[in-house]
Amino acid sequence: MTAKSTAPQGYYAASSETPAPRATLRGDAQADVCVIGGGFTGLTAALHLARAGARVILLESETVGFAASGRNGGQIHTGHRMSQPDLERWLGPIHAHDLWNLCEESKALVRAQAAALAPEANLKDGLIIAAHDLTALRELGEEAEYLNKHYNYADARMMSADETKLLIGATYHGGKLDKGGGHLHPLRYARGLARAAEAAGATIFEHSRARRVETSGGKNVVQGKNGKVTADFVLLATDAFSAEIAPQLAPYIAHVESFVSATAPLPPDLNAQILPTDAAVADTRHVLDYYRKSDDGRLLFAGRESYWSVPTDIAPIVRSRMLQVFPMLKSVPTEYAWSGTVGITVTRLPHFGRLSPRVLFAHGYSGQGVALTSIGGKLMAEAALGNSERFDVMARVPAKKFPGGPWLRKPLVAAALFAFKIADAF
Ligand SMILES: Cc1cc2nc3c(=O)[nH]c(=O)nc-3n(C[C@H](O)[C@H](O)[C@H](O)COP(=O)(O)OP(=O)(O)OC[C@H]3O[C@@H](n4cnc5c(N)ncnc54)[C@H](O)[C@@H]3O)c2cc1C
């Protein structure tokens, strides 16, 4: 078994066309809006702003799709990670319904954007949530029923253990098939968004880290190493890395390193047996397994994570978990393995807000950003264009701080997440 990836985005980089290098920021530039971060959030914001006629400059510290947006599991989930009944109890039914509607809009938007701007991302419908125990199965069923009854959500249905086994090729207690979920090739999608934003008039600078945001003469000034951008609005779309440029956000965002791998293309018999309908799968564990097939017939399997550092050899760690789920893959090598940083919040809801009246941020999608970033970027764009009503639906969700202060926060969060990992074993 060898891992042959050297690119940080592993198989995704190897299966995408590499765009021509973009310029770096040099000297002084002016814009209506400066977007910091070239992942799904920032690119979607830049696209919508440029289409509305705003002068947009996006600064990316590495290259487009370098971080989570170019490395993720590609899975499109329905709703937030907090259930709708819990959201209703916490925020009241009106706010909870508004949040649900934004989630549904984000799925529609990612589908529309992928179809029009990045068909090569091969977005496919269908996500199975597989129950690892009977309690999880019961909860999935209750949730599906609740969403159907109170939110008219009819795209999901429960499956028996037998049907789940048929659609996955592995054994679970049952599952929920959500036709409203799906999956795509994330790096191709990010690059497609970047192309479209540029075609609409946005300027993207790569290898252009924003070092700090200052205010001068009523404008915001984003300082880089060799230049600066003066803009009316600044949109921070840096997800897990937000605290590096805005230390005041550090208490609200924690990091988890999640590991992803790609096998060699499956032989025909295993290709027919594993995920025959091409749905993606996420299971119900705290440290979940999530997987799907690529369009060239590999199993892209993600499982295991780290809260502290990235191990030097990820492939064997993910592979041992994959073989527990799919023992028949013993003779199929793992060809790529990589990791990415997931930005998570205490509530597992994304955290939107303002550092000052015209410096906005959206981060902390907590593993559900493939869809939710599209609404994150769109709502930030709407706010910068003068209508912040919908941005504020998200910004009104109270943010909670991770405990521990600057020194103890990281070990405490790691310990708490490790405890979840232990809980999965029982
Ligand atoms: C391994 C992995 C698997 C995942 N799987 C899924 C999944 O299956 N489904 C799902 O819904 N979600 C998943 N997620 C989460 C999802 O990928 C993210 O929520 C989403 O991509 C966040 O997009 P973003 O644009 O907000 O941030 P990012 O994609 O992280 O983009 C932020 C960008 O900002 C840049 N940057 C940072 N600081 C600066 C600075 N100072 N100046 C300039 N640029 C800067 C970074 O280089 C980066 O490119 C996964 C994440 C990971 C890491």
User: What CATH number should be reported for the domain holding residue 41?
Assistant: 3.50.50.60
Percentage of the chain exceeding pLDDT 90: 88
Q: Would you say residue 267 lies in a domain?
A: no
- Terminal C-alpha separation, the chain: 30
| Angle (CA) 191 193 198, round 5° | 95
Per-residue pLDDT, 185? 98
Global pTM reads: 0.96
- Counting ligand 1 atoms within 8 A of each CB, the residue from 72, 127, 244 with the most, and so the one to mutate, is 72
Q: Give the tokens for residue 156.
A: 């999901």
37 lines ligand 1 (CB under 6 A): yes
| Angle (CA) 386 353 92, round 5° | 100
**Residues facing 105 on adjacent strands:** none
Per-residue pLDDT, 3? 47
Cβ contacts of 287-292, under 8 Å, gap ≥ 24 = 287/420, 287/421, 287/424, 289/321, 289/325, 290/73, 290/75, 291/73, 291/322, 291/325, 292/73, 292/74, 292/75, 292/183
If DSSP codes are grouped into helix, strand and coil, which group holds residue 306?
strand
72 lines ligand 1 (CB under 6 A): yes
DSSP structure class, residue 265: P
User: Whose Cα sits closest to atom 15 in ligand 1?
Assistant: 367
Per-residue pLDDT, 422? 55
Residue 242 Cα: closest atom of ligand 1: 38
- What's the 42 CA to ligand 1 centre distance in angstroms? 10
Q: How far apart are CA 44 and CA 69, in angstroms?
A: 12
Q: Would you say residue 116 lies in a domain?
A: no
> Is residue 304 left, alpha or beta, with left meaning phi > 0 and alpha meaning psi from -120 to 50?
left
Residue 240 Cα: closest atom of ligand 1: 30
Q: How far apart are CA 64 and CA 359, in angstroms?
A: 22
Which residue ranges of the chain lie beneath pLDDT 70?
A: 1-6, 307-308, 407-408, 412, 415-426
Q: Would you say residue 422 lies in a domain?
A: no
Beta strands 203-205 and 212-216 are unpaired
> 298 — phi, psi (to 5°)?
-90, 160
Residue 39 structural domain: 10-71+188-252+347-407
- Counting ligand 1 atoms within 8 A of each CB, the residue from 113, 127, 342 with the most, and so the one to mutate, is 342
Q: Would you say residue 194 lies in a domain?
A: yes
Q: Would you say residue 91 lies in a domain?
A: no
Q: Would you say residue 144 lies in a domain?
A: no
Per-residue pLDDT, 287? 85
- What's the 223 CA to ligand 1 centre distance in angstroms? 22
Per-residue pLDDT, 355? 97
Q: Would you say residue 40 lies in a domain?
A: yes
209 lines ligand 1 (CB under 6 A): yes
Split into its structural domains, the chain has a count of 1
Per-residue pLDDT, 2? 44
